[in-house]
Amino acid sequence: MDDKTTRRIEKWLDGAYDQETKKEIKRLQKSDPKALEDAFYCDLEFGTGGMRGILGVGTNRMNKYTVGAAAQGIANFLKATVAGTSKIVISFDSRIQSDEFAQISADIFSANGIKTYLFDGIRPTPELSFAVRELQCNAGVMITASHNPKEYNGYKVYGDDGGQLVAPYDRQVMDEVQKVTDIDQIQWKRNPKLVTIIGSKIDEIYLKKVRALSLHIPKSERAKNMKIVYTPLHGTGIALVPEALRRYGFTNVTIVEPQAIPDGTFPTVVYPNPEEHEALKLALQKADEIQADLVLATDPDADRVGIAVRNADGEMQLLNGNQTATLLFNYVLENKLQGDHKIKNPYVVKTIVTTDLLRDIALDYNIECYEVLTGFKYIAETIRQHEQQATYLVGGEESYGYLVGDFVRDKDAVSACCLIAEMAACYMITHRGNHKLLTEVLDDIYYRYGVYQEGLLSLTKKGQDGLNEIRLMMEKFRTHPPQNIARVEVVKMHDVQLQKYFDYRYGTNGPLNLPLSNVLQFFLKDGSKVTVRPSGTEPKIKFYFSVTARAKRRSEVKLVKEELQRKIAVLKEAMLAF
């Protein structure tokens, strides 16, 4: 254990920390010194979107002291940048200690003279984003670790536009948080006069906005009676999603009861992530039991949604984030831009690791498709930059996050659930008098624009050694980029950290119009693309794969998809061997 880590531990043992915390430190000293070192070897990073970490004692853990320092830093930022009394709104999910961290934050903000709105119970992240704008707040805080395992919690910070902080404000807040080096700098005592509890009134305003997004409310009894299975995966979605679906007219929604109870231990799943097949196991079982048409699963803070649909073979088929985004983009543009529409400069937004099929669909409708860095805050930033001169329609990312309309400035699984259900009903039951499954609609899109398939490889590297390993891997890819991947020539590389592209075909390079980020992209001669980046929220390095090919006939789409999946498998093996 190095001297810096030892000094951090001694500071907690000697300082004004509670006895329970000191007792746990002493226990770890005797029973698990390696865990103690990991808990103190660094400060839990307060990054560009807040912080996320394992619960427990220590400077590298989520606890009341690290949360307190974050809240005090945010308060100091608001006091330095906002004239007069500033306002903030706080929400929280069902995770362990989320309620406690929300209360502590309200204590600290109000103690610093900040008008504080606190939700009366768990609420989804998109409602927090909405509330920032609705209540005209200067900032917002959401206590959540999204889809991370039960050992984690987190702290998302939002600006006055309802989007997560971006430059330069993210850096300014980070600097203020880092200045809080002692718990004696934190004002802990709540001013109850400055704390207002909110709840049902904001719910109602938000739900009305969600309802107004409808493009084609199902009117037939058959459409309204479409069988939907919904699971909130023990999270916040239970607070709003069933009611939102009811307002869209859906009368046959079955909730997965064992997962309807908010519970931060997530007792029925290994990993509360709708991207994972295992997380949807109970929902899929229920869907087969009642012969449902659609499964919807939201993550703990209900900003992302995973879906499964019944295919032509009568089986429930999981769709990935790119596939759902493709269907949703197509549905929105098909309904919004038909005929002589009056929408002013419509546009859509995708991230750089999301399928390029979204760009091709936008091009077909002759509208702009902006491409931004990974992270929905960059989609929110694009909305803010263009809201005076253009109209945002829909945005999405491959990690199951979607947003239609702009009254929320983060991904929104509540409205996405409603629009996905509406889309399914319209295509499956009422689409121009034809019965069409969403899997068939997707293949139609592939035949029209080209078949795209995507893959993801995530390597988990925990602890200090893991962080160093990820850093060295990125350094190797950057300084010795592959000339070939799976025997296919690399023709171009984007280094977003250097903000430069390198075109090997012509020996040229130039600037990239993207913010600084530790991301590398390799473009292959056959149209394939490989993106490499460290995760911003988990101890992982991620590899994103995109491959594409044309199907000469509609009947060949399935074969082309299978061939592309084999190609992705080969690319994964090649990157692992690099």
Q: Looking at the annotation, which residues are catalytic?
A: 146
List C-alpha distances in Å: 493 to 222, 482, 498, 521, 570. 51, 10, 11, 6, 20
Structure tokens at 292: 């449902």
B/e letters for 325-356, b = 16+ CB within 10 Å, e = fewer, are bbbbbbbbbbebeeeeeeeeebbbbbbbbbbb
Structure tokens at 152: 């984690």
Q: Hey, which residues does 495 pair with through a beta bridge?
A: 500, 520
Structure tokens at 490: 């690399």
Of 155, 153, 93, 151, the C-alpha closest to 270 is 151
Degrees, nearest 5: CA angle 118-63-517: 85
Strand segments, DSSP code E, in 93-138 are 115-119
Sheet of strand 139-143, all strands in order from the earlier edge strand to the far edge: 50-54, 152-158, 139-143, 87-92, 115-119, 195-198
Q: Give the whole-angstrom CA distance, residue 417 versus residue 13.
A: 48
- The answer to whether the beta carbons of residues 372 and 541 sit under 8 Å apart is no
Q: Give the whole-angstrom CA distance, residue 486 versus residue 575.
A: 8
Three-class secondary structure assignment of 401-421? EEEECCCCCCCCHHHHHHHHH
Q: Hey, which residues does 62 pair with through a beta bridge?
A: 55
- Antiparallel, parallel or unpaired: β 540-549 and 451-460: antiparallel
Q: Give the whole-angstrom CA distance, residue 45 versus residue 47.
A: 6
Structure tokens at 29: 């000293």
What is the dihedral sign for C-alpha 173, 179, 181, 183?
negative
Helix 98-111 and helix 64-81: axis angle, to 10°?
A: 40
- The answer to whether the beta carbons of residues 274 and 306 sit under 8 Å apart is yes
Reduce the DSSP state of residue 119 to 3 states and report it. Answer: strand
- The answer to whether the beta carbons of residues 192 and 110 sit under 8 Å apart is yes
- The answer to whether the beta carbons of residues 396 and 378 sit under 8 Å apart is no
Reduce the DSSP state of residue 544 to 3 states and report it. Answer: strand
Q: Is cis: bond before 168, omega within 30 of 0?
A: yes
Q: Hey, which residues does 310 pair with through a beta bridge?
A: 316
Of 341, 312, 305, the C-alpha closest to 419 is 305
Q: Give the whole-angstrom CA distance, residue 172 versus residue 88.
A: 17
Of 302, 306, 303, the C-alpha closest to 294 is 306
